[in-house]
Every structure is written in C-alpha cells, then in structure tokens.
Amino acid sequence: MKLLVTGGAGFIGSAVVRLAITRGHAVVNLDALTYAACLDNVADVAGDPGYSFVQADIRDRSALDATLARYRPDAIMHLAAESHVDRSIDGPGAFIDTNVMGTYTLLEAARDYWDANGRPETFRFHHISTDEVFGSLGPTGMFTETTPYDPRSPYSASKAASDHLVRAWHETYGLPVVLTNCSNNYGPYHFPEKLIPVIILNALAGKPLPIYGDGSNVRDWLYVEDHADALLTVLQKGAVGESYNIGGENERTNLELVQTLCTILDGKRPKESGTYSDQITFVTDRPGHDARYAIDPTRIRQELGWRPSVTVEEGLERTVQWYLDNEPWWRALQDRDGVGQRLGSAK
C-alpha cells in the first residue's frame, strides 16, 4: 500500500513510518516539523526508495491537495497533533487549531481526493486518537469502544472533537474511516518532555524526579512499536466506520512506574551511592489530573487477532537502554522551547 502518514516525524508517527517501510509499504510522511518533531526518528528508513517527506501543515488545504494529487495514497494515517496535556493547559488555542481545524481540513481534502478518484471502497482514512477522550475512571472498570466520551483537558477535548468529525464524515459523506483510541505509549524516540524520558534523563543528570500530586494516578502503558503494529493491523483488517481501543493491559501508578525506572537504572548505571529513587520529589498536581485510564482491548484482540508482543518490564528495560545508548538524540532536543520546564500548573 501507499500510505500518507501525518505527523510521521513525531514519536508514534515515526514508529509507524519505520514499521510500514520495513513491511514493504510506500510512505509519504507529511509533517509541519513543530517543536515536537525530529526527522532523525526516521533516519533509518529515509533512504528507502519507498519513503518521501513533505513539510506541510495539515491546516494548509492547498498543500494537502497538492500532496494527495502528487503521491496518490491508498490510505491516510492521521497522527499529526499537538499532543502534550501540560502544554494544552497553558495554551489551548494551538490544540484547537491543529487537532480540530487541522483534522477538519484534512478530512475535506481526503473527501475531495476520494470523490475525484471514484470513491474507491478500499480507501481508508485512519484517525489515531487517545483513551483520554473517555475521561477519568475510578478504581475499577475499563474503557470500551462504547464508553461515552467525557474529555476533561483541552488536549483530550480537542481529540474528542476530532474523533466526532471523523465519524461525521463517514456517516454524512460515506468516507471510509477507521478510528483507534490508544493508551499511554512509551519507548524509543519519546520526546523529552513526557514522563518516562523526563524521569530517565533527570535521573542521569542528578536532578529531582518530579511526580505530580501523590503519584497515585494510574496509566495503562503500551510499547510504541506494539502500537504501530496495532495501527497497521486496524488499517488493513478493521471494519469501516468502526473504532478499536488499543491498550497493553499494563496498569501502573505513576509512582510505581517511576520506581521501576529507578530500579532499572540502578542496575544499568549504578550511582556512586544510594539509589535513583532518592531523587523522587512530589510536586503540585496537574489541574484536572485524570485519576485512572484503563483500556479493555477485547475487540481488537478477538476481531483482529492483535495483542502486544512486549511486556511492560521488557519494554521499560529496552527504553532505558535506548536512552543510555542515544544521548546525542536527546541532548539535541533539550534546548527546545519549554523542555525541562514545569508546564501546565496554572489554574
């Protein structure tokens, strides 16, 4: 297949690009190269004859039309987004612009392209979304595909809005869409403002390891390469108009997660004295911090036969090792705007 991947220079998009090229697909990576992008993430496949890159913004309709006309993809995998909850608290406008208006613009460009080509049934518009659209769980229960939407941050509200637009373009115009809502990802090339890289890099630098609130918030962690595999599975086997929840069934409190990372680091790069856990510091909580997310992945497992290949213990080991082995990659990103600062704490 020829895939147009938006946001392919980001964390998850680049994992999709690398896997798709490895599996023999052609990929057009369309990315605006915001602060969160890094083309080094796709350096391993950038020389492949099936790979192309277009620097463009998903809000730029004429650039989208030109890209679709030139490359004629069989499917669009839409990952481009503003993705950091803390930044959405400080500046929600960028999230509405890109995640809502950008998705609208991309849907309209896709609809015209699909119409102009005789509305092929095999075309797919795959919208990649988050479990955060479902809101916050108590101590029990899990999100399924029929859980009502209840977003609580500007980020999750903008993703919920974009999900609704994608479903509406299917119901109203017949555009062949699939949607996925995934839990928290982690792994190589994770931008150094997100929790896991922050903890690894602060630990190595001897800095405090910041934990929001009391660390009891629960997240369900999935290795990014397993997410990329799930996305290609849904793209190729998912039913049109349907959504699939993707999760690793690996619930951890933030405090447990950070302690696990400290233990791995203690083994791989021991401190002269003490343990990395000594650097743990509790800081003011994020406003509106969702208590718990948990995905019920029964549908994707039973209907499409997908399951994660990596346990969270193995995935975290690999991730820590990757950061130890790839210092030039993360050092180059630490100067970017806002990285290393506390964001999103203002009420």
The C-alpha atoms of residue 25 and residue 2 are separated, in whole angstroms, by 6
The radius of gyration of the chain's CA atoms, rounded to the nearest angstrom, is 20
Total site size for ligand NAD, rule CB under 6 A: 31
Output the CA–CA distances (angstroms, integers) from residue 110 to 69, 71, 104, 123, 277, in the order listed: 11, 13, 10, 10, 49
Q: Does 11 interact with ligand NAD (rule: CB under 6 A)?
A: yes
Nearer to ligand NAD, 1 or 33 (CB): 33
Q: Is residue 178 within 8 Å of residue 240, measured between CB atoms?
A: yes
The C-alpha atoms of residue 41 and residue 190 are separated, in whole angstroms, by 10
Which residues 165-204 are close enough to bind ligand NAD by CB under 6 A? 182, 184-185, 191
C-beta atoms surrounding 311 within 10 Å: 12
CB of 249 to ligand NAD, least distance (A): 15
Nearer to ligand NAD, 136 or 184 (CB): 184
Among residues 18, 21, 28, 31, the one that binds ligand NAD under rule CB under 6 A: 31
Q: Which stretch binds ligand NAD (CB under 6 A): 32-40, 66-74, 278-286, 311-319?
A: 32-40
CB of 121 to ligand NAD, least distance (A): 26
Residue 185 C-alpha from the chain's centroid: 6
Tokens at residue 259, please? 């302690």
Nearest alpha carbon to residue 144 among 307, 303, 299: 299
Nearer to ligand NAD, 117 or 332 (CB): 332
CB of 302 to ligand NAD, least distance (A): 21
CB of 80 to ligand NAD, least distance (A): 3
Which residues 102-161 are close enough to bind ligand NAD by CB under 6 A? 102, 128-130, 159
Which residues 39-58 are close enough to bind ligand NAD by CB under 6 A? 57-58
CB of 262 to ligand NAD, least distance (A): 21
Q: Is 1 helix (H, G, I), strand (E, B) or coil?
A: coil
Q: Does 98 interact with ligand NAD (rule: CB under 6 A)?
A: yes
The C-alpha atoms of residue 145 and residue 147 are separated, in whole angstroms, by 6
CB of 83 to ligand NAD, least distance (A): 4
Site string (72-91) toward ligand NAD, x via CB under 6 A: -------xxxxx--------
Q: Is residue 343 within 8 Å of residue 191, measured between CB atoms?
A: no
Catalytic residue IDs? 131-132, 155
Nearer to ligand NAD, 32 or 175 (CB): 32
Helix extents (H) in 117-214 = 154-173, 195-205
Q: Is residue 259 within 8 Å of residue 219, measured between CB atoms?
A: no
Q: Does 339 interact with ligand NAD (rule: CB under 6 A)?
A: no
- Strands (E) across 1-90 are located at 2-6, 26-31, 51-55, 75-78
Nearer to ligand NAD, 42 or 279 (CB): 42
Write out the residues near ligand NAD by the rule CB under 6 A: 6-7, 9-13, 31-34, 36-37, 57-59, 79-83, 98, 102, 128-130, 159, 182, 184-185, 191
